[in-house]
């Protein structure tokens, strides 16, 4: 029986994931059906070998390399890395040194971008001594909408000394303002952004990311250069406080609290009409729910479907039901209306009563 479902996601979810886990049985079965996947490039450039190197799976990297996989194909997990890096760079960056040594012994290529990303300033200096133009060298990315030059490879991991060296050798940040500003915001590096602005970068060419800006010093630096979008600027329809309350953001109560301190409106909505409380309730983030309620979150806020945070929590598919029950009790004790129906006529009580273990969920709707 095939392990593959026929979906376009099979390559990443089954093949690449198996390589990342070091799961030889699954990987061999996948390659038996799809031998061409040894060379296939997935989202953000990820190959099977790249993922194995990133995860530190030495035996898997050896196996794939022996089969002929490309040991230099660059890839990326965007949020932690920001730019495409080679399997060697990924392994070294993640401190999987045995993997990096193996790839190096196999002849893995290195360049100024690798040296900049890894913070090897002496290697960067040597590259520049041989060819000063490398300070401005672009490196093609799998996402053609994200241009990246040597500066990006220094800014992404936050190497201020290498940024300064590149600027001294003529690196020009001006054509790359959009992402360089965002990289600095994501890495919370006010010092690097300031040095780029001094070098000519115009921060108004960028847009604050949906993750938000919580550092007052970053906000003030941008304001000083005419950039002030406010704490609720909604990139792609997602205000930062709503975005940071989503289940895929990890549940950082400190991050949400910092946004509130920076002036975020706890009742601002995303393009679906959802508030931060909707998202935190769905995710089962007990502490964030408590924080939002403590700062005046509207307990019966309706999204575009007319659903309240209580209804959203009851429809959540989060596996940790104990967390969800705590969220539901917190919302109910804050005054939520269990009988407020959405636009389809379903109330939270209706949703609770239709669940498999209905009694547990209906009991949770009682005020303590």
For the chain, the C-alpha Rg in angstroms (whole number) is: 24
Same fold, 10-110 and 240-363: yes
Q: What is the pLDDT of residue 260?
A: 97
Q: Three-state SS for 329?
A: helix
Q: At 7, is the secondary structure helix, strand, or coil?
A: coil
Q: Is the pLDDT confidence value at 328 over 90?
A: yes
Q: Please report the pLDDT score of residue 367 as a whole number.
A: 87
Q: For the domain 240-363, what is the CATH code?
A: 1.25.40.20
The domain ranges of the chain are: 10-110, 113-206, 240-363
Distance CA 122, CA 240 (A): 39
The tokens for 238 are 């997602």
Determine the average pLDDT of the residues in 304-318: 98
pLDDT at 368 over 90: no
CB-hemisphere CA count at 13 Å for 192? 27
Residue 80 has pLDDT above 90, yes or no: yes
Three-class secondary structure assignment of 229-298: CCCCCCECCECHHHHCCCHHHCCCHHHHHHHHHCCCCCCCCCCCCCCHHHHHHHHCCHHHHHHHHHCCCC
H or E element, residue 318: none
Segment 62-86 mean pLDDT = 97
**Residue 36 pLDDT class (50, 70, 90 cuts):** very high
Query: Given a cut of 90, is residue 145 above it in pLDDT?
Result: no
How high is the pLDDT of residue 284? 98
Mean per-residue pLDDT of the chain: 97
Residue 95 pLDDT class (50, 70, 90 cuts) = very high
pLDDT at 229 over 90: no
- What's the CATH code, domain 113-206? 1.25.40.20
Q: What is the pTM of this model?
A: 0.90
- % residues pLDDT > 70 (the chain): 100
Q: Contacts for 252-257 with beta carbons within 8 Å, 24 or more apart?
A: 253/285, 253/287, 253/288, 253/291, 255/214, 256/280, 256/288, 256/291, 256/292, 257/291
State residue 2's pLDDT score: 87
- Considering only the top CATH level, what class is 10-110? mainly alpha
Across the range 107-111, mean pLDDT stands at 98
Q: What is the mean pLDDT of residues 114-139?
A: 99
pLDDT of residue 296: 98
């Amino acid at each position: 029986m095939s392990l593959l479902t026929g979906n376009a996601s099979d390559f990443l979810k089954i093949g690449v994931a198996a390589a990342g886990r070091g799961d030889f049985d699954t990987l061999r079965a996948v390659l038996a059906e799809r031998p061409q996947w040894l060379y296939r490039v997935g989202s953000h450039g990820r190959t099977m070998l790249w993922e194995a190197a990133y995860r530190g799976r030495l035996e898997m990297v050896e196996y794939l390399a022996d089969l002929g996989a490309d040991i230099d194909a660059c890839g990326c997990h965007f949020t932690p890395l920001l730019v495409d890096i080679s399997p060697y760079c990924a392994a070294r960056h993640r401190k999987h040194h045995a993997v990096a040594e193996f790839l190096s012994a196999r002849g893995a290529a290195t360049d100024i971008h690798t040296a900049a990303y890894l913070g090897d300033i002496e290697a960067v200096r040597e590259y520049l001594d041989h060819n000063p133009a490398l300070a401005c060298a672009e490196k093609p990315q799998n996402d053609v909408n994200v241009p990246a030059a040597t500066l990006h490879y220094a800014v992404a991991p936050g190497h201020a000394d290498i940024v300064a060296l590149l600027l001294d050798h003529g690196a020009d940040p001006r054509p790359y303002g959009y992402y360089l500003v965002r990289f600095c915001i994501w890495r919370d590096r006010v010092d690097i952004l300031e040095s780029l602005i001094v070098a000519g970068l115009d921060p108004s060419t960028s847009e604050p990311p949906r993750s938000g800006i919580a550092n007052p010093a970053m906000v003030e630096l941008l304001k000083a250069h005419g950039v002030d979008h406010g704490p609720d600027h909604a990139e792609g329809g997602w205000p930062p406080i709503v975005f940071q309350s989503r289940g895929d953001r990890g549940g950082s109560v400190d991050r949400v609290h910092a946004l509130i301190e920076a002036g975020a409106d706890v009742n601002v909505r995303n393009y679906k009409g959802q508030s931060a409380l909707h998202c935190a309730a769905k995710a089962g983030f007990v502490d964030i729910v408590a924080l939002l309620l403590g700062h005046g979150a509207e307990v019966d806020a309706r999204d575009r479907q007319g659903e309240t945070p209580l209804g959203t929590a009851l429809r959540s598919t989060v596996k940790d039901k104990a967390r969800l029950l705590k969220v539901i009790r917190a919302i109910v004790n804050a005054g939520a209306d269990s009988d407020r129906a959405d636009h389809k006529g379903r109330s939270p009580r209706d949703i609770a009563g239709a669940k498999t273990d209905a009694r547990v969920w209906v009991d949770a709707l009682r005020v303590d």
